Amino acid sequence: MLGDITLGQFFPGDSPVHRVDPRMKLLLTALYICLTFLVKDFIGYGLLLALLLFCTLLSGLKLKFMLRSLKPILMIILFTFFLNMFFAKGDRVLFAWRFIVITEESLYFAAFMALRLVFLILGTSLLTLTTSPIALTDGLERVLKPLKLVRFPVHELSMMMTIALRFIPTLLEETDKIMKAQAARGADFDTGNLLQRAKAMVPLLVPLFISAFRRADELAIAMEARCYRGGEGRTRMKILRLQAVDYLALLLFLALLAAELLRQRLL
Amino acid sequence: MALIDLSEVFFQYEGQTEEDGAVRGVSFGVNKGEWLSIIGHNGSGKSTLIKLLNGLYLPTSGEVKVEGISSAAEDRIWELRKKVGMIFQNPDNQLVATVVEEDVAFGLENLGVPPLEIQGRVKNALEKVRMGEFAKHAPHHLSGGQKQRVAIAGILAMEPEVLLMDEPTAMLDPSGRKEVLDTVLRLHEEQGITVVHVTHFMEEALAADRVLCMDEGKIALSGSPREVFLNIGGLHALGLEVPPMAELSLRLRKKGLRIPETVMSIEEMTEALCQLKSAI
């Protein structure tokens, strides 16, 4: 049952969007997030929507996939929407009943804020849907490299992420096994109130943790046997080199950013 | 001079004394190009012994030398570990990366090999263990035997002098066990790679040029597989199983059948029995 969980939401493909260098994709996502916060009206959102649709079509992803990524935060979006609708101030009252007052301005503001969240999630989903977790880790290590100057453990962080990615499926499989073993001895994970269920997790978590520590120990020895001694003097197999598609993408994003800023200045 | 040289090596875990240490006064050499199997029952010190060979453990007293480099020389330990690659028992706990080829590259990346050279050596190593088509796969989707072959490729890519294997087949099913053993056997024959193999499967030790049998931290028996496995009384005294065919041939001989003493494997037994039958 646990085996079905896919790691991340990467959707393999060979589109231009997939091929953009992970470092560039991280930079572009950062630019996109800036753009979402810069936008001040619905025309700006139109621009964002056009960009998103263009990238999605180019990536060959189904719109369904993109929209599915909104599901987990639907509650937050709705909450943001209603909170803003009820509490934002405004003059032109549309509806009033006791303490609930909805004005035209509050409705506008609520929709605006909710859309901002939607756009943030859709944009970052496009990143994780078209970039494998490994490429993402790799890109992150290289993008963060300058932080080494301020003693930020960039290599260690990316190593930890790689190992976590490597062992999540293994540990899930193990959890499944332990659950079955405990269930065979009469453990009950599915009934009872919250407290009882939390208690039922103890016989699952204890062996899982013990095994995880043993694995960590063995892995550390195996890594040492293969001459691992931290990031110093280490090379990488993959060479990341920026291609034409990367520069084109950057150009597109910068042009959009400039266009939006110019529009706001002029109007 | 032997490739690996052990002289009077003692090793004690914390809280052990010299008398009940894991390894007590072991001396032997591993020659270039040979296949050495180390057998022994659980707790006989065989796994500890193999970890002494690449400096994962340092001898409490005595010395381990690989091509003249002592494992106690801290500044040369990486040079030594590059020469002596090691495969572990649990196939899952020795693969680091999320993609097969990245994992094979791990050791080379640690050695600071230039990227283009890494790519070539990784491809080559994967071909050698016949896992080339799995280069882009995720390790957790592979079978146990395949994972061990990837681990072997990861060591081969580093071009070591010796391949140490610490019960590499103990957690595999029979087909995975055969897969891994056949791979190493082929590498040993074709590439002449030196192998030190710790195992508790006696049949596996039959492939060796030389067998060491450990007991209580000491070498109890040593010699060619045939010499060791013909010493059935000695093996039983050490609490070890004798390869089934060796045991069977002994029993048949006791019953008066003329089975040669050298029969160890099923194929040899079949042949011997067929010859007997046709002689009648």
Residue B36 maps to a domain: yes
Considering only CB atoms, which chain B residues are within 8 Å of A173? 140
- The answer to whether the CB atoms of B81 and A227 lie below 8 A apart is yes
Residue that has been written with the tokens 């390790």 in this structure: B139
Biggest alpha carbon distance in chain A? 72
**pLDDT computed for residue B245 by the predictor:** 84
Residue B139 maps to a domain: no
Is residue A230 predicted with pLDDT exceeding 90? no
- For the record, the structure tokens of B137 come out as 């796969």
**pLDDT computed for residue A34 by the predictor:** 93
B27 and B85 together in one domain: yes
**pLDDT computed for residue B201 by the predictor:** 85
B200 and B278 together in one domain: no
Is residue B207 predicted with pLDDT exceeding 60? yes
Taking Cα atoms as reference points, which of B111, B179, B190 lies closest to residue B143? B179
B199 and B272 together in one domain: no
Rounded to whole angstroms, what are the CA distances from B13 to A210, B18, B209, B215, B226?
A: 21, 10, 31, 17, 33
Q: Residue B12 belongs to what domain range?
A: 4-94+161-242
What CATH number did the domain enclosing B166 receive?
A: 3.40.50.300
Is residue A45 predicted with pLDDT exceeding 80? yes
Three-state SS at A69: coil
How many domains in chain B? 2
Confidence band of A4 (pLDDT split at 50, 70, 90): very low
Task: Nearest by CB to A235, from B81, B109, B140: name it.
Answer: B109
Q: What angle do CA B155, B25, B68 make, to 5 degrees?
A: 45
Interface check for A225 against chain B (CB to CB < 8 A): the answer is yes
Residue B154 maps to a domain: no
**pLDDT computed for residue A6 by the predictor:** 47
Is residue A64 predicted with pLDDT exceeding 90? no
Distance between CA atoms of residues B182 and B179, nearest Å: 5
Residue B100 maps to a domain: no
Residue B135 maps to a domain: no
B191 and B237 together in one domain: yes
Distance between CA atoms of residues B257 and A146, nearest Å: 78
- The answer to whether the CB atoms of A235 and B115 lie below 8 A apart is yes
Is residue A2 predicted with pLDDT exceeding 50? no
- The count of residues in chain B is 280
CB within 8 Å of A38: residues ≥ 6 apart: A44, A257, A260, A261, A264
Is the Cβ–Cβ distance between B179 and B185 less than 8 Å? no
**pLDDT computed for residue A8 by the predictor:** 60
Compute the average pLDDT of residues B76-103.
92
- Kindly report which listed range (A6-20, A95-109, A184-198) carries the lowest average pLDDT score: A6-20
Compute the average pLDDT of residues A101-122.
90
**pLDDT computed for residue A14 by the predictor:** 84
Task: Nearest by CB to B139, from A166, A234, A238: name it.
Answer: A166
Residue B24 maps to a domain: yes
Is residue A146 predicted with pLDDT exceeding 60? yes
Compute the average pLDDT of residues A158-184.
90
Give B75-116 as a DSSP string: GGHHHHHHHEEEE-S-SGGG--SSSHHHHHHHHHHHHT--HH
Q: What is the pTM of this model?
A: 0.82
**pLDDT computed for residue A52 by the predictor:** 92
Distance between CA atoms of residues A68 and A247, nearest Å: 30
B237 and B247 together in one domain: no
Is residue B280 predicted with pLDDT exceeding 80? no
Compute the average pLDDT of residues B242-251.
84
Per-chain mean pLDDT for chain B:
90
